[in-house]
Chains A and B, each alone.
Chain A
């Protein structure tokens, strides 16, 4: 499909997104779109990889993570790690099985799979435009 850029030059290169997704083709597609839209992108195939990245000096502004992932830590565990160790990071959680983030999971936004490229780009832009993290719990919605 032809790619249509979402014009919003003031936000280009504004944020670096850590994409945490264990489905390779989905991850490849998403990071490609985000790079084309001007975001910095770092990718991880598991929550464990994401934590490894977050423990370095790699600049990350937003973490977009799936809920269900293989390994000992899922997206919920990753979100809790982030809130404990990198509380200023913004978190977008995504799932194809849930309609909202799990109870008590401290995320900023939730987007259900399948999602459109436009929707996720717009969501990331809106988050990167906010100065402060607004933590939402699913039971607050």
Chain B
């Protein structure tokens, strides 16, 4: 139940990294952005986002700072570190390879 079953294993990390690569965001914003950009196709349970964030933080790819939000509540904002940026490139490249390969296979079947 706890796994985001409609996400390919490991892609949640990539999505999070990509989203906060643009600007520092807090958890709520990340989850909103995720739904927004994927047009509600990618559903991430609200609960499973945080363990993923903490894992990325522990790996040293993102850091968190407490900042006031737009409506003046304090929230934890996550942003990419240098290592995180590298990881993002690596993951993106991986993803490209993987999706190219899958696209190839799928097309082959159609032919």
Co-assembled chains A and B: no
